[in-house]
Amino acid sequence: VTGSPVIVSLANGQTITIPVGQSSGTATEVVTDDVYQGHAAVSNQITAVSGGNYENLVANQVPVFTTVTDVQDTTTVTLSATPSVAEGGIIIYTATVGAPVTGSPVVVSLANGQTITISVGQSSGTATGAVSNDVYQGHAAVSNSIISVSGGNYENLVANQTPVSTAVTDVQ
């Protein structure tokens, strides 16, 4: 490059400046890491060039592509429950996933036999469970946990299998 720097405009909005006395310049693009399977190639191309002391400076506008290698990230599904209910009440179980569901719904199987479906585009889903009202004094807490998870387009979907517990207060 002679006379003045060459300015190269790229399709992604970046600009490369090639200084006088040099023959190249660079631009850096950061590729985001996500929790989903697969990653599209990154492409870019020159949209315009100017500067330098050239009679006819012409850009090669053929796109370039960079393949992105997917890194396995773990996404966890956790379960929460209503902390306390009276006998005859309803426990709400909520399954929450670390990133919105893509591809297909996430199905969460619970130890009590219920399933929770987290729809595409959502990050949580719920199921309800009734607590019996009996004539006996006292009532044991109700526990539940996740036994399995499936679905979605996650690189590595896992369940937090820590049990949740709901205290049940006695109704006279």
> What pLDDT was estimated at residue 104?
97
Residue 62's pLDDT is what?
Answer: 96
For residue 104, give the 3-state DSSP assignment. coil
pLDDT given for residue 2 in this prediction: 83
Running along the chain, 172 residues long, what does each successive block of 10 average in pLDDT? 92 96 93 81 95 92 92 94 94 97 97 98 96 71 96 95 94 74
Structure tokens at 93: 């179980």
Domain with CATH 2.60.40.2030 in the chain: 74-169
Instruction: Report pLDDT for 71.
Output: 84
d(CA 72, CA 154): 9
Q: Is the CB of residue 128 less than 8 Å from the CB of residue 90? A: yes
The pLDDT score that the predictor gives to residue 135 is: 57
**Architecture per CATH, 74-169:** Sandwich (2.60)
Distances (CA, A) of 103 to 62, 153, 165: 32, 5, 32
pLDDT of the residue at 69: 84
The predicted structure's pLDDT at residue 70: 82
- What distances in angstroms separate CA 144 from CA 53, 70, 117, one per listed residue? 74, 35, 16
For residue 135, give every residue at least 6 positions away whose Cβ sits within 8 Å of its Cβ, in sequence order, or none.
none
SS3 at position 42: strand
**pLDDT value at position 32?**
83
Alpha-carbon dihedral sign for residues 108, 109, 111, 113: positive
